[in-house]
């Protein structure tokens, strides 16, 4: 009687996503997927739905040996053998969106680097610039570990002019060292995702596309059902201005506790630079007094960490669930995002 040899299933061991934002609001996204490839199936895919006016172009794929795949023109043909798809990639048009596809080739431990450009990711709203986008959505092969970095080409993103929140997984969010960092603290589950929402003060970008209305509406919709609280955000940054003429972006840090995701020194340095450039002398004096007070209190260290579900209270202790500068992600929420649709192997 013949012995049955078990089939090795595909697995995504580690997903690392780098998002480089450009001045016009476009982004170059580079995904490194470290995988164990089994004996069945022919291709990997990343589905992108709900894209609106976000365009996708300049797809490139290479493997762990640096072999660059041939990017096929026209619609990717999914009905081919594994051998026919090896070292080839392309875009498959589907109902409501597209799929980025590549041939998986040989079985074993593999690393695929998939890069592509998203146009019109950062949009101009009447109050802020920003986006709410799903960079990863689990399909048939959940990532055992995942991280994501967002940076600005030729510049830095810093407190208090930039804010970041994350949804769809359990993990950490940070804004430090000029970039945004997101990392899952446990394997992603089926149905999970890595949705990131970023809000930027005017003047960092010159977006080529406009969003509808205020970004506050995007933020409010994403917060619904999540651990973040719109009420606390507004109380902290929108409604309470300590001195007339002081920008609301100076208010971050009040009463925060937890991880030192961004030191008060980094906040002060970045903000002082902004103030000197813009000549806000009154605001500068107010901010220096504010920072001195926060250092005396031992706070002002960026967003604090919070346990899952900690966003139910409207008390000051829950303010770390609305900071947008660091702390915990929310495994729920993120409604209204662009992107998503799943990724995996078939």
Residues 91-105: b if buried by 16+ CB within 10 A, e if exposed = bbeeeebbbbbbbbb
Please write the tens of the pLDDT for every residue from 283-311.
Answer: 445 445 444 443 443 333 333 322 222 22
Sorting pLDDT into bands at 50, 70 and 90, what band is 18? very high
Query: Which whole number is the average pLDDT over 123-134?
Result: 98
CB 178 within 8 A of CB 157: yes
CB 136 within 8 A of CB 5: no
Sorting pLDDT into bands at 50, 70 and 90, what band is 231? confident
For residue 16, the tally of other CB atoms under 10 A from its CB is 18
Task: State the Rg of the chain over Cα.
Answer: 22
Give percent of the chain with pLDDT exceeding 70.
73
Sorting pLDDT into bands at 50, 70 and 90, what band is 65? very high
Give the integer Cα–Cα distance in Å for 169 and 96.
Answer: 25
pLDDT higher at 140 or 245: 140
109 CB-near residues (< 8 Å, 6+ apart): 34, 35, 36, 37
- Go through the chain and tell me how many residues it has: 346
Q: For the whole model, what pTM was predicted?
A: 0.76
Question: Which pair of structure tokens corresponds to residue 317?
Answer: 């202790």
The residue with tokens 């660091």 is 326
Residues 241-250: b if buried by 16+ CB within 10 A, e if exposed = eeeeebbebb
């Amino acid at each position: 009687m013949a012995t049955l040899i078990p089939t090795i299933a595909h697995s995504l061991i580690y997903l690392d996503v780098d998002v480089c934002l450009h001045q016009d609001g476009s982004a170059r996204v580079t995904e490194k997927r470290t995988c164990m490839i089994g004996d069945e199936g022919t291709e990997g895919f990343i589905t992108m739905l709900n894209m609106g006016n976000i365009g996708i172009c300049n797809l490139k794929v290479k493997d762990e040996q640096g072999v660059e795949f041939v990017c096929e023109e026209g619609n990717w043909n999914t009905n081919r053998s594994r051998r026919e798809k090896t070292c080839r990639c392309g875009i498959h048009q589907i109902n409501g969106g597209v799929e980025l596809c590549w041939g998986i080739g040989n079985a074993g431990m593999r690393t695929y680097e998939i890069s592509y450009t998203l146009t019109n990711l950062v949009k101009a709203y009447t109050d802020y610039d920003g986006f709410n986008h799903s960079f990863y959505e689990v399909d048939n092969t959940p990532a055992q570990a995942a991280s994501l970095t967002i940076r600005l080409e030729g510049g830095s993103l810093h407190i208090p002019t930039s804010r970041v929140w994350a949804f769809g997984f359990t993990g950490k969010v940070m804004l430090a060292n000029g970039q945004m960092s997101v990392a899952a603290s446990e394997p992603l589950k089926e149905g999970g995702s890595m949705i990131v929402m970023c809000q930027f003060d005017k003047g960092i970008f010159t977006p080529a596309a406009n969003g509808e209305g205020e970004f506050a509406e995007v933020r409010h919709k994403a917060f619904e059902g999540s651990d973040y609280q719109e009420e606390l955000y507004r109380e902290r940054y929108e409604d309470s201005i300590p001195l007339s003429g002081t920008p609301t972006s100076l208010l971050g840090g009040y009463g925060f506790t937890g991880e030192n995701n961004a030191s008060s020194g980094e906040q002060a340095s970045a903000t002082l630079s902004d103030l000197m450039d813009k000549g806000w002398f009154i605001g500068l004096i107010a901010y220096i007094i504010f920072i001195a007070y926060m250092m005396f209190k031992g706070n002002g260290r960026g967003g604090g960490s919070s346990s899952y579900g900690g966003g139910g209270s409207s008390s000051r202790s829950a303010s770390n669930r609305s900071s947008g500068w660091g702390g915990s992600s929310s495994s729920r929420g993120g409604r209204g995002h662009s992107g998503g649709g799943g990724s995996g192997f078939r």
